[in-house]
Amino acid sequence: MEDLMSEEEPWVKGKHSFKLGKGTKITVLSGAGISAESGVPTFRGPGGLWDDESLVKLATPRGFMADPVRGWRFYDERRQNMAQSQPNPAHRAIARMEQAGYDMVVITQNIDRLHQAAGSSRVIELHGTLWEIRCTNPACVSRPFENHDVPLKDIPLVCGLCGSVMRPNVVFFEEMLDSHVISEADRRTKQTDLFIVVGTSGIVYPAAGFTHVARMSGAYIVEMNIEPTPLTPICDETVLGPCGETLPGFFTRLTGGEIGFP
């Protein structure tokens, strides 16, 4: 890789050539890496939940419905962990840019709603959220609803309308993403001027595909991660390091110091 990182300079690739304006459309694609810095376990990587095959089975429709009590105990534990996690400086920097009047949209693979907790109001959740619950009965007329009980009062949760087991309103493994959500994210990606990829491995599709869509649509692409990814070759700039440190610094440079990021 060109321009390898030195102790003084964290930028590993790129010439810092993007010029920001108030009308600039900025889109952030965030992955598990940004939440990991807030203490939320990832599914992949060292120590990730992916390492435990039995837990992965609970993240599939068949595995969850085979034992809803065990499934809900697993997700209840995840919810308890997330409830203790707080937005980190990367989450807050993204929200601060929106609050300063910039056209900011977040497309996230994360289900913890830490972006919203930081103050971001325009968040497209590709994989849903653990803080919503929905019925497993496709014929039921109930709608997904928010539930912030930590710990859950009843396990498993049962629908008050039809009596069926309820589930987290997240996209399980082996399930398709919501087509309306994908269309919304795709439309925004094609309109964006600056596309920032934060804390994502670049191997999970269709999320990773949005970076390619942004590239083909003419966006300037910046990647922030702790190591290079399969997306690095198509990015205009790549920054290695904790995004809680690098993203506030990037926005400080981008705005010419106009906005402070404590």
CA proximity to 72, closest of 197, 156, 181: 156
What CA–CA distance (Å, rounded) separates 29 from 106? 6
Tell me, yes or no, if 91 is annotated catalytic.
no
In DSSP notation, 170-222 reads E--TT-PPPHHHHHHHHHHHHH-SEEEEES--S-STTTTHHHHHHHHTT-EEE
Give the three-state DSSP class for 55. helix
Q: Of 127, 148, 180, 212, which residue is the catalytic one? A: 127
The kind and range of the H/E element at 94 are helix 89-99
Closest CA to 255 of 11, 10, 26, 13: 26
Catalytic sites, residue numbers? 127
